[in-house]
Amino acid sequence: MRIAIVGSGGVGGYFGGRLAEAGADVTFLARGAHLEAMRARGLRITSPNGDVQLPEVRAAGDARDVGPVDVALFAVKLYDTAAALASLPPLLGRDTIVIPLQNGVDSVVMIEQAIGRKHTGGGTCYVSAVIAEPGMIRHTAMDHLIFGELDGTRSARLEALQQACSPARFRATLSEDVNADIWAKFVRLSVISGMTTVTRSPLGVVCADPALFEMLKDAVREALAVARAKGIAVPSTTADGVAQTFAGLPPQTRTSMLEDLERGRRLELPWLSGAVVRIGEEVGVPTPIHRFITTVLRPQVNGTLG
């Protein structure tokens, strides 16, 4: 099985690196200093689950240098989606499937419009990982990859991907309702990203402060209400249950949006808390906590780097 990682940052670099470590045929699509570092020195991952050192990896800056693959894991930042979609056609063979691992709930539709439903899958993941420096991924928490066909079938192509993931050091699930999984992640991530970024703090600070923890629970309630109003079969859960899951994560857990804020980069805010607000307006669900997060962070949404 040939696998392309489209966007080799924290998410793509981590799962792609673990797959390559396990012997999968992986090619990383990247750019800039990160691409040059991988070409020169390979890829390194630091992780509480065990470090990875890959002295040599396949890395390319242009999909035309890669050619058709069996699976493309699409892991670019949401604000780079439109540009990255142009890289997909050279990767497509007869049965190629592209699996978005992006945040939010908009990616599947965008990819399907670009390359057609036949080549579009669904996916999401739970992982806390960032590019610590060019050629190096720092993983701090969670490592669950979820993927599935949009119609819920267990296809041969995704069973093959699950088999490729089996020896890798992360959890992989072939989902029968990947849309519900995407929304379940969206509910959680919109809250954790918004709360850590608006407080400029790792998750442990939010969970340890009683007032902030209650605010977090209210944000979960809003996102769950939006999902249910959309008719999404999110797992039966409560705000208290989700909050306790957050409290059980390592206190140093930092979201990619917090990392982006601190590095002066663009934020995925419009597709996270901003999307909760937008979709809430569409379905008539009030979302005051997410509206507060969106409003307070709006001045930084385009980053501060010149």
Pick from 83, 64, 66: nearest CA to 28:
66
Q: Where are the alpha helices (DSSP H) in 200-297?
A: 203-208, 210-229, 239-247, 256-262, 273-283, 288-297
Pick from 180, 181, 178, 209: nearest CA to 195:
209
Whether the full predicted model's pTM is greater than 0.85, yes or no, is yes
pLDDT of 306 > 50? The answer is no
Kindly state the average pLDDT of the residues 187-198.
95
pLDDT tens-digit series, residues 116-166: 999 999 999 999 899 999 999 999 888 999 999 999 999 999 999 999 999
Beta strands in the chain (DSSP E): 2-6, 25-29, 43-46, 52-54, 58-60, 69-74, 92-100, 122-133, 136-148, 171-174
Kindly state the average pLDDT of the residues 190-198.
96
pLDDT tens-digit series, residues 42-101: 999 999 999 999 999 999 999 999 999 999 999 999 889 988 999 999 999 999 999 999
State both tokens at 230: 């959309």
State both tokens at 186: 């969206």
d(CA 288, CA 244): 22
C-beta of residue 7 within 8 angstroms of C-beta of residue 76? yes
Label residue 153 exposed, middle or buried (CB < 10 Å: 0-12, 13-18, 19+): exposed
pLDDT tens-digit series, residues 200-229: 999 999 999 999 999 999 999 999 999 999
pLDDT score recorded for residue 41: 97
pLDDT score recorded for residue 141: 85
pLDDT of 240 > 90? The answer is no
d(CA 190, CA 275): 9
pLDDT score recorded for residue 256: 87
Q: Are strands 52-54 and 43-46 parallel, antiparallel or unpaired?
A: antiparallel
| Domains in the chain, CATH or no CATH each | 2-176 (3.40.50.720), 180-300 (1.10.1040.10)
C-beta of residue 165 within 8 angstroms of C-beta of residue 265? no
pLDDT score recorded for residue 305: 63
pLDDT tens-digit series, residues 14-30: 999 999 999 999 999 99
pLDDT tens-digit series, residues 281-291: 999 999 999 99
What's the CA angle centered on 280, arms 274 and 286, to 5 degrees?
105
pLDDT score recorded for residue 235: 73
pLDDT score recorded for residue 100: 97
State both tokens at 94: 């007869």
C-beta of residue 187 within 8 angstroms of C-beta of residue 42? no
pLDDT score recorded for residue 94: 97
C-beta of residue 31 within 8 angstroms of C-beta of residue 1? no
Q: Sorting pLDDT into bands at 50, 70 and 90, what band is 254?
A: confident
